[in-house]
Amino acid sequence: MTAARLECEPRGSAAHAPQVLYVGEFPPSNHHGGAILIRRLLEGHPADRLSVITSTGGMKASRATGLFECRHITVPLFGGARALGMRPLVRAFNGLGVALVALRAIMEIRHKRVEALITIVQGRYYLAAALAAWATATPHITIVHDSFISANSTPSNLLRRVLRYLTQKTLRSAAHVYAVSPEMQSLVLRECGAGSEIQLPSSTLSPHAEGQAQNSRECSPVILFAGTTGYTVRDCLDLLADMIATGQLKAKLHLCTAMTETEMQKFGRNCDNIVCRGWVSQSELQEAFSSADILFLPYSFLESSREAVETAFPSKIADYLAAGKPILVFGPRYSSLVRYTSEQGFAEVVDEFSAAALARGIQKIVFSPLYKEKLAARALEVFSANHDIRCQQEKFYLTLERIVRRSHSCPGG
């Protein structure tokens, strides 16, 4: 399945923005794929026409510089979403927390005369958002980005069935649904009976993009990974780090991620060629990309991660493509990432989990200047066609305006 080329429309922007409320456990910021997407889509939205209801934990995890300058309302979620099902007391508190979010959203909708509500299927706040939207007859836009109801997301079969049912109701009642990949779009339709529009990860073009492929070090190339090091990538990162630490691969690995010193010592084995640069801002990330020879884009081969890598889609892909650098994709054939990469041809693909196969893929890029240039050029072409935030903003605001107009024209809307 191939995503349609983005066509920038001549109208539809934040200039005539409706009153919007975003409800999510993570605020629009530089953490988590869905939150990053919202941050970029609503960039430039008038501060007095935007409100955010989020969790206290989400606010603490986000840098102040990555937040919108608008009204933020924080509501606690005790123990986080993963704690649901661990202890009855925690479940009860979290249930009350979701109810509190819904009540607070209803109050904000009425106070601000909110015209549209936006939420992401992540954690539990999206359920509160859907409830508030229903209670106030406010249209809501729901984004299915990084996560979905699965066997790994809830510890109880009963709770999983309840959440699946509530998610089905949420998506079916939405005025518009966005899915992060064609595979996720199919899952939403199959599991929830809801149609959706594909909304691929997006970003802005890096100012350093032109001529990126020329900066190459054949003797010790710099391989860079940016993003979180969770279960959907960790096995791949561990293999690459082991190859470098043991001398199987003469290269340097730079990580733009959040790791404690203890975690880094365990992961990097005190190897000088493995460096953690910490979590960096968008502008810092673009500069970091310019110093790398290869951008590493992994997706887990573990069977326990299969459900996620088949349908989700790494948000960092947009930033990688915007950098105009050679990209190496390392993941199983069944993953959404490998399917998309194979269709679009913007990266060297290694779909076998072995040190030898990974080394061959890296060497193919490092020792072929023409191939490096080809990959870098194709990356920019795919970015322009499918991942440019300017085009996605135009389409998003056209959809938002259409939804608001339809709501106003309906009796009781």
Which one is predicted more confidently, 264 or 343? Answer: 343
How large is the average pLDDT for residues 54-79?
83
Q: 347 near 331, Cβ under 8 Å?
A: no
The predicted structure's pLDDT at residue 161? 82
3-state secondary structure 296-330: EEECCCCHHHHHHHHHCCCCHHHHHHHHCCCEEEE
Q: Does one domain contain both 219 and 342? A: yes
> Do 186 and 287 lie in a common domain?
no
Q: 212 near 323, Cβ under 8 Å?
A: yes
- For residue 240, give every residue at least 6 positions away whose Cβ sits within 8 Å of its Cβ, in sequence order, or none: 223, 249, 253, 296, 298, 330, 358
Distance of CA 106 to the CA centre of its chain: 27
Give, for 22, the enclosing helix (H) or strand (E). Answer: strand 20-23
Q: Are residues 226 and 187 in the same domain?
A: no
> How far is Cα 221 from Cα 292, in angstroms, rounded to an integer?
8
What are 329-379's pLDDT values in tens digits?
Answer: 999 999 999 999 999 999 999 999 999 999 999 999 999 999 999 999 999
Percent of the chain with pLDDT over 90: 60
Total structural domains within the chain? 2
What residues contact 49, with CB distance under 8 A and at least 6 apart? 17, 18, 19, 20
Domain match, 166 and 231 both:
no
Find tokens 């953690």 and name the residue: 276
Looking at residue 53, which CATH number applies to its domain?
Answer: 3.40.50.2000
pLDDT value at position 95?
Answer: 66
Give the span between the Cα atoms of 17 and 137, in whole angstroms.
19
**pLDDT score, position 90:** 55
In a domain, 8, yes or no: no
Does residue 154 surpass a pLDDT of 80?
A: no
Residues 95 and 180 in one domain: yes
Instruction: List, for residues 167-211, the tens digit of each pLDDT value.
Output: 999 999 999 999 999 999 999 999 899 999 999 999 998 776 654
Residue 262 has pLDDT above 90, yes or no: no
Using an 8 Å Cβ cutoff, are 171 and 144 in contact? yes
The CA distance from 86 to 297, in Å, is: 33
Looking at the structure, do residues 197 and 251 belong to the same domain, yes or no?
Answer: no
Domain residues for the domain of 267 are 212-387
Residue 150's pLDDT is what?
54
Pick the closest to residue 387 from 201, 143, 208, 182 (CA basis): 201
Rounded to the nearest integer, the mean pLDDT of the chain is: 86
Q: Please identify which residue in the block is written with the tokens 């509160």.
A: 128
pLDDT per position as a tens digit, 80-110: 444 444 455 555 556 677 889 999 999 999 9
Structure tokens at 376: 């870098």
Q: How confident is the model at residue 219 (pLDDT cuts 50, 70, 90)?
A: confident
Looking at the fold, whether 168 and 223 belong to one and the same domain comes out as no
Q: At a CB cut-off of 8 Å and minimum separation 6, what does 259 contact? A: 229, 267, 276, 278
- Please check whether residues 86 and 141 belong to one and the same domain: yes
Cα 235 to the chain's mean position, in Å? Answer: 19
User: Are 49 and 123 found together in one domain?
Assistant: yes
N-to-C CA span, the chain: 37
pTM: 0.87
